[in-house]
């Protein structure tokens, strides 16, 4: 059972060491590719934060596939292709080198804005700056937050962050060095643990279950076809199908850019979308066409696409019925109340099932870690040996638990939170690996599951409530922290001929570069520009404020779990158990469990219409045109993706020159 195959289509098999598809000599993971990737990681950190906070433009690091990284890598490929055409082989990079460069940028994208730095800075500055006699933070919050993690505002350091420095005053870095060091060590430990876990589980997903990681397919295709300098443009930018896709999307977005200068100019309505009312007490359908999502959805299986939009319709109907029966089950564009617990039960059941079917591989990997010279399993193609991965997982987990205990969280809560964190991150990572849908968020978090397991907020001590929110930046991140990025870095490493162990250390360096550069840059921006000038953005100015207010509310008037919430959790788990059994027992079963596990989550609901369109297009191609034409149409969708990336980059340049700081948010969710 541990070696059951996924039914995903269009699998891309990695090359063997002796059979690399690169168009030039493949020297593996080279130092120049690592240096190039780290430079792009710094550039991505500066780009993503500047566009969000200063230009107020598109989101460069929101989804699981960072637009900022795609822009920088695509421009680098085009530039190197042109330079190789003009000056020869010194500017030719192999497929392995391009995959290394992309991977480092891909991992570092967890640092800026919605990855980590935005939440982290907001967490650090909020407790003392936003404390007022009315919210009573000084009474219920300050006694439980240690000063080595949260600098006080006695000398105005936090006020200056939001209002800007007084004339001639230096940035008070001394107030930040200590807290940032301890926060970086905590986040780094969680990250290392998740990365090591992704290495341990990688073989199960990639080789035994044959997951194809659809989100990586266009990346691998582009990296393997950049060329060797024979053309001025990369070789993947050839063919009528490619240029048809590129021209279509580039024309639409360039047409809209012209409309930025002339408000009366007719435009194609791409973003934002609009709500389509269904009925009183029912969630509205969100109608929008997300070009970015549809480019990657093309590479997902029909089964996944159908299940995603089907269970979104299911959410609209059931949530509306429950609301009419007196059980409010949605809030704006996402589920709430009973329906959220139903989806949570389904998600947890599915994640536990995935752990169950991996037990044989996990046992073999553990035995290999105990006896590296044994023949239980071969770990030579992994980014790190299984012994190294288990040691890294154990040591970093132990440090994380010690850090949380010293910060003030109850030991019993810690012992429950760490396993649930791994379970949630594994679940969202597996969903992304199997679906390739780049706009995904988990229906629950380690924080919520732990609190529910203890009986609700009423059963937890005040010190735990005070620290539960700020530590959620790493323990309960909606994107699954570095685990999802690490899993896809492992997948890209499958296509690397040699030098994988070197790539592990490069990935660690890229993560550090991303988070440190981003956080320090945001702090610098706050003091030089003023945090309040970051608007429109809620990361630094609103997220921390709302999170800590919620913690104080849990301390003052904690709410217990109610029986109906546990009941809906069990209903969701039971439904998932039945669905999983049906899927693996009957080949005609049309539903993929992923649809139920994400039903009602914010990003799933907001992209459901786009997923429906992707499913309809793919179904028509396969049903009425044929698989041959479908495979031949791949360059068209790669062209759509490259055209979209080009359009976002062009729009960004136009915003910086003519519209800053009132930029246009073209790329969003």
pLDDT digits 0-9 by tens, 227-249: 888 899 999 999 999 999 999 99
Q: Is residue 490's pLDDT more than 50?
A: yes
Q: How many CA atoms lie less than 13 Å away from 136 in the CB half-sphere?
A: 9
5 alpha-carbon distance from chain centroid:
25
Residue 25 covered by a domain = no
pLDDT on residue 628? 86
* Beta carbons of 50 and 517 less than 8 angstroms apart: no
Q: Is residue 21's pLDDT more than 60?
A: no
Residue 14 covered by a domain = no
Average pLDDT estimate for 173-181 = 94
Work out the burial of residue 353: count CB atoms within 10 Å of its CB; fewer than 13 is exposed, 13-18 middle, 19 or more buried: middle
pLDDT on residue 152? 84
Q: For residue 205, how many other CB atoms are within 10 A of its CB?
A: 23
Q: What is the DSSP letter of 444?
A: -
The tally of domains found in the chain comes to: 1
Q: What is the DSSP letter of 134?
A: T
Contacts of 463 (CB under 8 A, 6+ apart): 144, 408, 409, 410
Q: Is residue 10's pLDDT more than 60?
A: no
Q: Which two tokens stand for residue 150?
A: 């949260």
Average pLDDT estimate for 104-112 = 94
Residue 372 covered by a domain = yes
Q: Which two tokens stand for residue 603?
A: 């990003």
Average pLDDT estimate for 30-48 = 96
249 alpha-carbon distance from chain centroid:
25
Please write down the long-range contacts of 83-88, taking CB distance under 8 Å and 24 or more positions apart: 84/227, 84/228, 84/229, 85/229, 85/230, 85/231, 85/232, 86/232, 88/229
Residue 3 covered by a domain = no
Q: Is residue 319's pLDDT more than 90?
A: yes
Average pLDDT, the chain: 91
pLDDT on residue 457? 85
Average pLDDT estimate for 500-512 = 95
Q: Is residue 2's pLDDT more than 50?
A: no
Residue 19 covered by a domain = no
What confidence category does residue 8 fall into, taking pLDDT thresholds of 50, 70 and 90? very low
Residue 51 covered by a domain = yes
Q: Is residue 456's pLDDT more than 70?
A: yes
pLDDT on residue 18? 38
Average pLDDT estimate for 379-399 = 96
pLDDT on residue 608? 94
What confidence category does residue 15 fall into, taking pLDDT thresholds of 50, 70 and 90? very low
* Beta carbons of 597 and 572 less than 8 angstroms apart: no
pLDDT on residue 387? 96
Q: Which two tokens stand for residue 201?
A: 């589980």
Q: Is residue 5's pLDDT more than 90?
A: no
pLDDT on residue 536? 65
Among the ranges given (300-314, 430-444, 472-486, 564-578), the one the predictor scored with the smallest mean pLDDT: 472-486
pLDDT on residue 6? 39
- Domain, as residue range, for 580: 31-659
**Residue holding tokens 């240096």?**
35
What confidence category does residue 19 fall into, taking pLDDT thresholds of 50, 70 and 90? very low
Q: Which two tokens stand for residue 133?
A: 């006699």
Q: Is residue 525's pLDDT more than 80?
A: yes
Q: Is residue 1's pLDDT more than 50?
A: no
Residue 26 covered by a domain = no
Among the ranges given (34-38, 188-192, 660-664), the one the predictor scored with the smallest mean pLDDT: 660-664
Share of the chain above pLDDT 90, in %: 74
Q: Is residue 128's pLDDT more than 70?
A: yes
Q: What's the pTM?
A: 0.92
Average pLDDT estimate for 203-216 = 92
pLDDT on residue 542? 87
Average pLDDT estimate for 111-139 = 92
Question: Which of 86-90, 130-134, 213-217, 390-394 is most confident?
Answer: 390-394
What confidence category does residue 24 fall into, taking pLDDT thresholds of 50, 70 and 90? low
Q: Which two tokens stand for residue 313?
A: 């319709």
Residue 174 covered by a domain = yes
Q: How far apart are CA 362 and CA 189, in angstroms?
A: 22
Q: Name which of 123, 18, 84 is nearest 541 in CA terms.
A: 123
Q: How far apart are CA 202 and CA 657, in angstroms?
A: 45
Q: Is residue 314's pLDDT more than 90?
A: yes
pLDDT on residue 31? 94
């Amino acid at each position: 059972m541990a070696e059951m195959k996924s039914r995903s289509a269009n699998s891309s098999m990695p090359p063997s060491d002796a059979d690399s598809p690169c168009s030039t000599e493949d020297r593996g993971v080279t130092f120049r590719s690592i240096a190039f990737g780290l430079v792009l990681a710094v550039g991505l950190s500066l780009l993503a934060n500047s566009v969000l906070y200063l230009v107020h433009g598109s989101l460069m690091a929101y989804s699981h596939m960072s637009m900022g990284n795609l822009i920088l890598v695509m421009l680098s490929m085009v530039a190197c292709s042109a330079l190789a055409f003009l000056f020869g082989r010194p500017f030719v990079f192999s497929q392995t080198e391009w995959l290394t460069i992309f991977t480092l940028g891909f991992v570092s994208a967890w640092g800026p804005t919605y990855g980590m730095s935005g939440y982290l800075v907001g967490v650090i500055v909020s407790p003392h700056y936003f404390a007022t006699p009315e919210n009573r933070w000084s009474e219920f919050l300050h006694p439980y937050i240690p000063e080595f993690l949260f600098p006080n505002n006695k000398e105005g350091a936090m006020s200056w962050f939001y209002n800007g420095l007084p004339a001639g005053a230096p940035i008070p870095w001394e107030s930040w060095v200590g807290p940032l060091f301890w926060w970086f060590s905590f986040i780094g430990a969680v990250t290392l643990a998740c990365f090591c876990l992704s290495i341990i589980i990688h073989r199960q997903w990639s080789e035994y279950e044959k997951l194809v990681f659809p989100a990586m397919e266009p990346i691998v295709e582009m990296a393997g076809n950049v060329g060797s300098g024979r053309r001025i443009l990369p070789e993947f930018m050839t063919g009528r199908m490619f240029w048809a896709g590129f021209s279509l999307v580039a024309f639409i977005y360039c047409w809209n850019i012209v409309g930025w200068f002339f408000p009366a100019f007719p435009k194609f309505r791409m973003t934002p979308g609009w709500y389509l009312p269904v009925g009183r007490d029912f969630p509205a359908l969100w109608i929008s066409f997300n070009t970015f999502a549809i480019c990657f959805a093309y590479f997902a299986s029909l089964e996944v696409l159908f299940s995603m939009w089907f269970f979104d319709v299911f959410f609209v109907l059931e949530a509306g019925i429950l609301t009419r029966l007196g059980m409010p089950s949605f809030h704006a564009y996402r589920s709430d109340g009973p329906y959220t617990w139903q989806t949570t039960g389904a998600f947890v059941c599915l994640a536990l099932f995935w752990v169950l079917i991996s037990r044989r591989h996990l046992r073999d990997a553990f035995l290999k870690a105990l006896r590296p010279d044994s023949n239980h399993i071969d770990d030579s193609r992994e980014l790190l040996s299984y012994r190294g991965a288990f040691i890294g997982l154990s040591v970093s987990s132990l440090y994380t638990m010690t850090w949380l205990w010293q910060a003030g969280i109850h030991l019993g809560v810690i012992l429950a939170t760490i396993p649930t964190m791994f379970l949630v991150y594994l679940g969202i990572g597996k969903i992304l690996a199997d679906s390739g849908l780049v706009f995904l968020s988990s229906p629950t978090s380690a924080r919520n599951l732990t609190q529910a397991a203890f009986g609700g907020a009423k059963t937890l001590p005040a010190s735990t409530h005070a620290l539960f929110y700020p530590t959620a930046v790493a323990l309960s991140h909606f994107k699954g922290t570095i685990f999802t990025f690490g899993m896809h870095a492992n997948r890209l490493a499958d296509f690397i001929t040699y030098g994988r162990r070197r790539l592990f250390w490069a990935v660690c360096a890229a993560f550090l570069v991303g988070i440190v550069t981003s956080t320090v840059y945001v702090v610098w921006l706050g003091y030089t520009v003023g945090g309040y000038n970051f608007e429109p953005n809620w990361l630094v100015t609103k997220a921390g404020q709302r999170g800590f207010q919620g913690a104080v509310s849990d301390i003052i008037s904690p709410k217990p779990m109610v029986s109906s919430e546990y009941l809906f959790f069990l209903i969701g788990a039971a439904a998932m158990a039945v669905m999983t059994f049906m899927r693996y027992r009957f080949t005609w079963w049309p539903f993929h469990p992923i649809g139920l596990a994400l039903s009602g989550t914010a990003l799933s609901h907001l992209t459901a219409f786009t997923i429906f369109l992707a499913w309809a297009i793919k179904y028509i191609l396969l049903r009425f045109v044929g698989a041959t034409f479908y495979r031949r149409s791949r360059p068209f969708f790669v062209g759509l993706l490259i055209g979209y990336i080009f359009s976002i980059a062009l729009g960004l340049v136009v915003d910086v020159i003519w519209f800053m700081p009132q930029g246009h948010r073209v790329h969003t969710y």
